[in-house]
Structure 1
Amino acid sequence: MAFFAGVFIRETGVRMKISRLLRQLDVPLVLFVIALAVISIVAISGATYTIDPVYLKQQIYWYGLGILLLAATLLFDYRVLAQGRFVYLLYGFGLFLLVLVMIPGVGTSAKGAQQWLKIGAFQFQPSEFMKLFLIILLAKVTSEVKRLPIRDWKTLGKLSGLFALPFFLVLIQPDLGTALVLLGIAASVLLVAGLDWRIILAGLSSVTVLVGGVLTLYFTDHPLLHTLLQDHQIERIETFVNPASDPSGAGYQLTQSMIAVGSGQLSGKGFHNGTQAQGKWIPEPHNDFIFAVFAEEFGFIGGSLLLCTFIFLLYRMVKVGLQCEERFGAYIVAGVIGMIVFQVFQNIGMTVGILPITGLPLPFISYGGSALLMEMVAIGLVLNIGMRRNDEFLFRD
């Protein structure tokens, strides 16, 4: 009888704790994700209305699977990820997939880059999942640093090595956009963790010199530029600097995108009435240039509402990070925020011509399974951290 009484008391306590955790769920954050899902479905419907309805059906399917993964992510205590060497196993598995994708006959190519793996009818992009693995690993390593700010060379060397491996593996695919996202993730985690200001200044100076050097080589037409960059990357610089120089060639994507965004004016042309999208003028309308389609159909008002939704989503995540009393969780939130901010800024920036085209999708909006599933798991982790920000391990004795 005492045994059954003990089991009943324990199970009752666990149920009460689960109930309390669910009451701490960040409902506004969930609602903003749902709002982005609705916008994604509307935007993809507009982008593929005259192309192929299968994209819309697939996106709804991916969102359904993504919601299940998000819910599953809430079921465990996120702090178990920092126990033992589990994070290193995830990281090693991600590196293995990145190497595997480079093997001829194993990885498949798309848009000039070999970055996909195909298992039966299912095709996925390992670099997308590497983003999340890198966030978790960097959060673990930086949370174990005893003295802040981070300035000792041993810690910096370890962090640099952990970042450099996936960065260069992605870069040689070649996938510059995703490689830059990994850089944004690392910068976000390290800034929040507390990097010495002299190192930050040195990093900013290096980036300035690198960008300035590439632009100098470009404007002087130096032969070294063709050694450092591939032809399509040089074309993207040309498109960014002067999109009107070749509107039917290298500048075609940006030209058509800017026409679509501008023609939307204040309130847009209406759902399924975008002439650039329905006329099939916009390349990759359901993926890289989805914002141009949405802005053409719903105008400045629609585009602003989309940006505001992202801002509120990020605000809720920042709030979770600030309220988290445990460094590992706070650093994970910082990495997720950095990942989303960089991709939103880069995607919309390239769509309107203020940044070079890198082929990055718009988070939660663009069509695609790998990216969307990874983003939903990332949001699930943030919600998990928010639910347990000042709680003990759920099943600890």
Structure 2
Amino acid sequence: MKYFWNLFKNIDKILVFLPLCFAAISIMMISSTASQGHFVFDKYVTMQLVAYFLGFIAVGFILLIDYKIFENWEKPLYIVSVLLLLTVYIPGLGVEQYGSRAWINLGIMYFQPSEIVKITFVILLALYFCRNHDTLWSYKGVIMSALYASPFILIVLKEDLGGAIVLCFIWLAMVFYAGIDYRILGKFAVIFTLCLPLVYRFMASHQKERIDAFLHPSNLELGGNYQVWQSKVAIGSGGFFGKGLFQGTQKELKFLPVQKSDFIFSVIVEELGMIGGAVIIGLYTLFLYRIAKIAYNAKDHLGALIAVGFIGMFGFQIFENIAMTMGLMPVTGITLPFISYGGSSVLANMIALGLILNVGIRSKIINF
């Protein structure tokens, strides 16, 4: 017991407090999308609260397990993760939503396997780079690491463009930290850019439509542009101080689509103004800084890589979601971490938080 007590004394209290702030913001804004003028305790609020409750239980459980235990699980974890992604193609289990077959029906809820696989993907890459960090100074080493990651990226890409891009940024952040030769990375970036037209050819029709919409923002007939247009109207109408909590008109009149998840940042800025949006960005900046601090102080390379992987995951998702609400990035269906509605997303984010805190509490010498 004394061992665990000494471990928990090392916990990053700010990283524990911030998700509580995000949870409060999430509940209030999800409720706001359901009504005008007052708080509504509807089924979406209930599901979000349940997801957070289960998430905090998961964090507590994860903290009891030394993250180095994953060193013995790499092969089975890799196989199980790939199989989990493929469950969306099982007849009667996999379901299609928002144009993507990326969910499975668990009866009481829809679950998105790729959300959990983001977590295992970070762990697997951390284990891989620990074993092979000396090879990253060669083209072969970089290619082998990309091939190691490619089954996850390709499976997710088939249905969820946003999820695949998140996996790519996780790999990029971790390979960068692991010690890649920057000249090699630059050459691969050029090759990847030249291959983008080829990648576009093999995208699903709804994915191509979103790219076309981003490249032609004035064409409201293209899918996604109407959403972005209404999002920018909502953000602009909020002004500096906003219209007031529960008083947003764009969301109330249903002009703003997908309010609870993809475009919840637009609801926040419409009702709480530029100040509210700045506070959200400030909280996320502090959140990423605390993770970076844990990565810097990690006791080993594995712990540092796990933390860096989650910086890549959270950092890109935050940037992409906020940027797409302003028309600065394509609409990809990436949600705002911890705030957007979604049980799978919240639970995955809390598991990631548990692993980050796990690295943090074991970064210091425990005295008995």
| Residue of structure 1 equivalent to 2:177 | 192
Q: CA deviation at 1:176?
A: 0.4
> What do the CA deviations read for 1:44-89 (whole angstroms, capped 9, x no partner)?
111222699211111111111111111111111111112x2x1321
Aligned counterparts of 1:122 and 1:160: Cα–Cα separation in 2: 34
Structure 1 partner of 2:92: 105
Relative distance call for 1:249 and 1:186 in structure 2 (3 A) is closer
The answer for the alignment partner of 2:191 in structure 1 is: 206
TM-score, with structure 1 as normaliser: 0.87
Q: Distance in 2 between matches of 1:104 and 1:393?
A: 54
Aligned to 1:34: 20
Q: 1:154 to 1:206 in 2, by over 3 A?
A: closer
Partner of 1:315: 289
Q: Which residue of 2 aligns with 1:75?
A: 64
Amino acid of the structure 2 residue aligned with 1:271: L
Determine if the alignment matches structure 1 residue 337 to structure 2 residue 311.
yes
Aligned to 2:103, what secondary structure does the other structure show?
A: strand
Q: Deviations over 1:229-266 (max 9, x none)?
A: 44323332332233332269652111111100110110
Residue of structure 1 in register with 2:80 after alignment: 93
2-structure distance, mates of 1:98, 1:393: 42
Q: For residue 42 of structure 1, report the CA deviation from its aligned partner.
A: 1.5
Structure 1 match to 2:361: 387
Give me the whole-angstrom Cα distance separating, in 2, the residues matched to 1:147 and 1:383.
Answer: 28
What SS class does the counterpart of residue 147 from structure 1 fall into?
helix
Deviation (angstroms), 1:205: 1.1
1:116 paired residue among 103, 120, 125: 103
SS in 2 for 1:145: helix
2:298–2:363 CA contact under 8 A, matched in 1 = yes
CA deviation string 1:255-287 (max 9, x = no partner): 111100110110100111000011111111001
1:159 to 137, 140, 145: 145
Task: Give matches, 1:1-397, under 5 Å.
Answer: 15-49=1-35, 53-82=42-71, 84=72, 86-145=73-132, 147=134, 150-152=136-138, 155-172=141-158, 174-211=159-196, 213=197, 227-246=201-220, 250-391=224-365
Report the 3-state secondary structure (helix = DSSP H, G, I; strand = E; otherwise coil) of the residue aligned with 1:139.
helix
Report the AA paired with residue 200 of structure 1.
L
State the partner residue of 1:9.
none
Q: SS where residue 313 of structure 1 aligns?
A: helix
CA distance in 1, matches of 2:238, 2:67: 44
Cα distance in structure 1, aligned partners of 2:323 and 2:133 = 39
Q: How has the CA–CA distance of structure 1 residues 242 and 153 changed in structure 2, closer, same or farther, with 3 Å as cutoff?
A: closer
1:249–1:107 distance in 2 versus 1, CA, 3 Å: closer
- CA drift of 1:34 comes to 1.2
Distance 2:222 2:171 in 1: 37
Tell me, yes or no, if the aligned pair for 1:48 and 1:56 is still in contact at 8 Å. Answer: no
Counterparts of 1:392 and 1:80, CA distance in 2: 18
Higher-Rg member (1/2) = 1
Does the Cα contact within 8 Å between 2:95 and 2:104 map onto a contact in 1? yes
Q: Which amino acid aligns with 1:207?
A: F
Distance 1:247 1:100 in 2: 34
Question: Larger deviation: 305-314 or 98-107?
Answer: 98-107
Superposition RMSD on alpha carbons, in Å? Answer: 2.2
Q: 1:210 to 1:268 in 2, by over 3 A?
A: farther
Partner amino acid, structure 2, of 1:71: G
Q: Unpaired segments of 5 or more residues in structure 2?
A: none
Q: Secondary structure at the match of 1:386?
A: helix
Alpha-carbon distance in 2 for matches of 1:378, 1:323: 18
User: Which amino acid in 2 is paired with 1:340?
Assistant: F
Deviation at 1:41, TM superposition (A): 1.2
Aligned residues: 365
Check the 8 A contact 1:87/1:133 in 2, yes or no: no
Shift of 1:158: 3.6
Q: Any gaps of 5 or more consecutive residues in structure 1?
A: 1-14, 215-223
Partner AA of 1:160 in structure 2:
A
| Inter-partner Cα distance in structure 2 for 1:255 and 1:132 | 33
Using the TM superposition, give the Cα deviation of residue 106 of structure 1 relative to its aligned residue in structure 2, in angstroms: 3.0
Percent of aligned positions that are identical: 36
Q: Distance in 2 between matches of 1:186 and 1:392?
A: 32
Distance 2:357 2:224 in 1: 42
On the 8 A contact 2:262/2:321 being kept in 1, the answer is yes
Letter in 2 for 1:189: M
